């Protein structure tokens, strides 16, 4: 196991208590390279809107290094974590306490459950989203005894977002992306005004660990508050061990300095934006399983700076029937921002989305082709139907000149879907083919469409099928595609009362759900 530093006493991270971290069994330093086995490179920020952006990157996993270090270990999960910090102001109190803290790990190490405790945007409640992305007022505290003493108050936008892979999904090299939402319109994000790394003072920027962040913020507090010498002493209540190995109330003393600047908020505009990989793995010692991890800090790299667009400029429309409580509201907005669907025009010139309207097959054809064109899949962006293609379906009119405006809506997208092998329609008794564009899309058919498009993008494999849908049987149409959809995380189905899951393959797909499906498909393709 890794060799860990040890320190003394206790502390509280900014706004929350820091639990004492478990110390795994340690072995002597044998000269092995304990550097992080994943390297991240070619980090880019794409698809920037007023409130969202995608961080895309390449990674390389040095499996040989990992196996040399930990020959019996098994990676259970890898989380690629993007850390967004935008500390606007800091209001110092009068006292700056002499610090004292303890942990069994290096100060820059992650909290052990960083991956396990992260709530994905696909399952976050509106209340959780408010907690993640809103402007926070956070106390920076020092704990002495059973009481936390506030040293400063921060106003900040600060959150972590991530993309997770199982150990089996981790490749030796690959590409991935992390979607950021909850950004502020017309705001700069990047790295500036951050204290420099200082190992003697345990200052480690680009760490997601609560201890390192607490130390980093206190270093910034020291910089702006300008405390004097630690020549003041306070007494506080504590609980101490006695010579009889019992605890009893006691008094302790702590030195502190008086700040030159205090009592008023100070603009600091401290920004961090970085990405790193947190690796969870299991290992056995004497038949007992131990969990351990590599921290984000070990391979963290800065994300290039960017500025979000002005409010609502990312989309050509602002839907009159979509608000923060609309299911999949962010996915709906993403759909519009990427020109996949702009909804329906109201009489007054505004637009509505009609999230609870079922998706028609002809509209689905347009959505899928636009997504394919955005991702440069096959010939989606450039293909034009031949004369033979234009007569493929007897219920699809698609003349080259659209004389009299009689063409079927999205006719060329329908024909591309057939050309690409994503949907071939129905073969009728007379031998002709129909597409039935005004029929609604059923969930089981949608599974087939999305799986085929993913396969076109080279992303149709490496998914463990979800085989526990209670209403999917051997003879269910598109059974394999449904199970792929569940395993990929694009659609988990509906939860039954007993905790199991059903898919409802013959239920029509609602437009708001389709927004989520296509957005999740896009994230899968981007990996």
pLDDT in tens, 210-232: 999 999 999 999 999 999 999 99
- In degrees and rounded to multiples of 5, residue 416 shows phi and psi of -65, -40
Q: Which residues pair with 192 in a beta bridge?
A: 271
Contacts of 522 (CB under 8 A, 6+ apart): 338, 371, 374, 375
d(CA 519, CA 128): 20
Residues 209/243, Cβ–Cβ less than 8 Å: no
Average pLDDT of span 379-396: 95
Q: Is 362 left (phi over 0), alpha (psi -120 to 50) or beta?
A: alpha
∠ Cα 421 424 426 (to 5°):
165
d(CA 314, CA 129): 20
Instruction: Give the residue among 321, 431, 421, 434 at the shortest CA–CA distance from 378.
Output: 421
Q: What is the 8-class DSSP label of residue 312?
A: T
Average pLDDT of span 360-368: 97
d(CA 526, CA 158): 25
| Number of other residues whose CB lies within 10 A of the CB of residue 71 | 8
Residues 69/230, Cβ–Cβ less than 8 Å: no
Instruction: Give the residue among 268, 23, 22 at the shortest CA–CA distance from 140.
Output: 268
Q: What is the 8-class DSSP label of residue 355?
A: T
Average pLDDT of span 473-480: 96
Average pLDDT of span 162-167: 90
pLDDT in tens, 255-303: 999 999 999 999 999 999 999 999 999 998 888 888 999 999 999 999 9
Domain ranges across the chain: 12-29+40-225+260-307, 329-526
pLDDT in tens, 93-131: 999 999 876 666 788 888 888 888 888 877 778 788 888
Structure confidence at residue 23 (pLDDT): 33
What does each C-alpha distance from 369 to 450, 469, 518 come to in angstroms?
11, 29, 11
Q: Is 516 helix (H, G, I), strand (E, B) or coil?
A: helix
Paired tokens of 496: 């039954």
d(CA 335, CA 328): 11
pLDDT in tens, 234-262: 999 999 999 888 999 999 999 999 999 99
∠ Cα 454 459 465 (to 5°):
90
pLDDT: is 55 or 5 the higher one?
55
Q: Which residues pair with 426 in a beta bridge?
A: 434
Q: Which position has the token pair 């999205």?
A: 410
pLDDT at 44 over 70: yes
Paired tokens of 48: 């920037």
d(CA 486, CA 463): 9
Paired tokens of 327: 């299911």
What sections of 377-442 are H helices per DSSP?
387-390, 411-419
d(CA 357, CA 402): 28
Paired tokens of 201: 């003072």
What sections of 171-260 are H helices per DSSP?
210-225
């Amino acid at each position: 196991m890794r060799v860990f530093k040890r320190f003394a006493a206790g502390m509280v991270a900014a706004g929350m208590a820091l639990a004492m971290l478990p110390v795994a069994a340690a072995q002597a330093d044998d000269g092995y390279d304990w550097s992080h086995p994943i390297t991240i490179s070619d980090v880019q920020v794409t698809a920037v809107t007023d409130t969202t952006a995608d961080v895309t990157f390449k990674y390389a996993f040095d499996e040989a290094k990992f196996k040399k270090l930990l020959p019996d270990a098994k990676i259970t999960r890898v989380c690629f974590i993007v850390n967004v910090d935008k500390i606007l102001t800091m209001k110092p109190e009068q006292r700056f306490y002499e610090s004292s803290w303890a942990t069994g790990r290096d100060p820059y190490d992650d909290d052990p459950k960083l991956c396990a405790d992260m709530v994905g945007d696909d399952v976050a409640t509106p209340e959780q989203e408010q907690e993640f992305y809103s402007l926070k007022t956070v106390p920076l505290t020092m704990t002495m005894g059973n009481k936390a003493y506030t040293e400063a108050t921060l106003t900040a936008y600060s959150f972590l977002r991530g993309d997770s892979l199982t150990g089996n999904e981790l490749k030796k090299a690959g590409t991935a992306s992390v979607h950021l939402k909850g950004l502020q319109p017309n705001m700069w994000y990047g790295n500036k005004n951050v204290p420099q790394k200082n190992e003697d003072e345990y200052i480690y920027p680009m760490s997601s660990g609560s201890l390192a962040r607490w130390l980093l913020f206190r270093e910034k507090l020291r910089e702006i508050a300008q405390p004097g010498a630690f020549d003041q002493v306070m007494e506080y209540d504590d609980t101490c061990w006695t010579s009889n190995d019992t605890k009893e109330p006691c008094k302790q003393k702590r030195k502190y300095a008086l700040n030159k600047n205090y009592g008023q908020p100070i603009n600091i505009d401290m920004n961090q934006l970085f990405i790193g990989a947190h690796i969870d793995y299991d290992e056995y010692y004497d038949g007992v399983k131990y969990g351990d991890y590599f921290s984000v800090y070990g391979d963290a790299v800065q994300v290039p700076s960017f500025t979000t667009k002005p409010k609502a400029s990312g989309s050509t429309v602002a839907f009159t029937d979509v608000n923060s409580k609309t299911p999949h509201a962010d996915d709906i907005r993403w759909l519009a921002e990427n020109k996949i669907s702009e909804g329906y025009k109201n009489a007054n010139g505004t637009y509505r989305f009609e999230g609870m309207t079922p998706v028609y097959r002809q509209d689905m054809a347009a959505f899928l082709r636009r997504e394919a064109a955005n991702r440069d899949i096959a010939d989606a962006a450039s293909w034009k139907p031949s004369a033979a293609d234009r007569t493929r379906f007897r219920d699809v009119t698609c003349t080259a000149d659209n004389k009299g405006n009689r063409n079927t809506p999205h006719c060329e997208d329908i024909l591309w879907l057939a050309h690409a092998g994503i949907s071939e329609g129905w073969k009728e008794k007379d031998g002709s083919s129909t597409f039935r564009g005004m029929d609604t899309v059923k969930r089981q058919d949608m599974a087939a469409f999305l799986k085929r498009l993913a396969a076109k993008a080279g992303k149709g494999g490496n998914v463990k099928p979800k085989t526990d849908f209670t209403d999917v049987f051997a003879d269910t149409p598109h059974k394999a595609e449904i199970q792929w959809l569940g395993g990929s995380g694009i659609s988990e189905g509906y939860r039954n009362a007993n905790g199991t899951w059903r898919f409802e393959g013959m239920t029509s797909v609602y437009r708001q759900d389709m927004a989520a499906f296509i957005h999740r498909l896009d994230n899968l393709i981007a990996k």
